[in-house]
């Protein structure tokens, strides 16, 4: 994350080997371990308005200031059905995307067509330190992956359907050389399908892209 473009100052949030989360600031030239009260494993990290926002496995949001000051918050509407989380920038907003199932066992069903999965999306409310749930993602497409998630307008890539999520197979139950390894969730349809089930998407992905093969 850039702190001062003129002086090429930057800041990186990561994790030290065998230790906890840490920040590297170019002005210091070293890593500084963050003093977080409870053990933490981040599910998502995003930079926004010169701050880092991270979310851990409990749903706690950690905010890291350029000064290395920390504060945390839990959203006012907890979700006990969340199985996995992502953070990403979407236009001028930060989104929290959560994969949910009614029962934890449903998350581990090997056949994707039998999974009872849905996604919930919330926007960051900086003023209230909270996440406000939204109904869908309007005219955007979200691409979710473990190390790099992003979004774009559906009109920016011809052929993609608006108000949908593209993500790779998390369960390793599909052949990574087949279109079944790329999964699609459409808010209007309320269900998960593979690209193989959507003919126009098969044309968009002649073969699974690198981010699917390397991270599924």
pLDDT band at residue 173 under the 50/70/90 scheme: low
Q: What is the pLDDT of residues 70-124, one digit of tens each?
A: 999 998 887 888 999 999 999 999 999 999 988 877 777 666 656 678 999 999 9
pLDDT band at residue 139 under the 50/70/90 scheme: very high
Cβ distance 162 to 154 under 8 Å? yes
Alpha carbon distance 63, 54 (integer Å): 7
The distance of Cα 97 from the centroid of its chain, to the nearest Å, equals 6
> What pLDDT score was predicted for residue 69?
93
Total-model pTM: 0.86
Of all helices (H) and strands (E), which one includes residue 153?
strand 150-153
DSSP string of 96-108, one letter each residue: EEEEEESSGGGGG
């Amino acid at each position: 994350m850039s702190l001062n473009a003129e002086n090429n100052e930057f800041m990186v949030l990561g994790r030290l080997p065998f230790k906890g989360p840490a920040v590297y600031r170019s002005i210091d030239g070293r890593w500084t371990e963050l003093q977080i009260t409870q053990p933490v494993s981040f599910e998502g990290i995003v930079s926004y308005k010169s701050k880092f926002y991270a979310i851990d496995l409990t749903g706690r949001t950690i905010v890291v200031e350029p000064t290395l000051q920390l504060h945390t918050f839990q959203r006012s509407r907890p979700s006990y059905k969340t199985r996995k989380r992502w953070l990403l920038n979407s236009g001028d907003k930060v989104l929290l995307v959560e994969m949910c199932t009614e029962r934890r066992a449903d998350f581990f069903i090997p056949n994707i067509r039998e999974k009872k999965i849905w996604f919930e999306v919330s926007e960051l409310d900086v003023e209230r330190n909270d996440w406000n749930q939204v109904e869908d993602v309007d005219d955007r497409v979200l691409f979710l992956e473990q190390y790099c998630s992003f979004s774009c307008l559906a009109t920016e890539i011809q052929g993609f359907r608006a108000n949908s999520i593209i993500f790779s197979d998390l369960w390793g139950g599909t052949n990574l050389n087949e279109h079944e390894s790329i999964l699609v969730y459409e808010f209007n349809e309320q269900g998960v399908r593979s690209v193989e089930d959507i003919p126009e998407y098969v044309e968009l992905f002649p073969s699974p892209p690198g981010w699917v093969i390397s991270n599924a």
